[in-house]
Amino acid sequence: MTAVRKPRERANHYPTKAAVKRAVETARELGLTVVGVEISKEGVIKILDQAAIPQKPKDEFEEWLASGKLG
Express each pLDDT in 39-49 by its tens digit. 999 999 999 99
Cα separations (Å) of 52 from 15, 47, 49, 70? 23, 10, 6, 25
Query: Quick one: pLDDT band at residue 6, thresholds 50, 70, 90?
Result: low
Whole-prediction pTM = 0.61
Cα separations (Å) of 69 from 55, 56, 64, 66? 18, 17, 6, 8
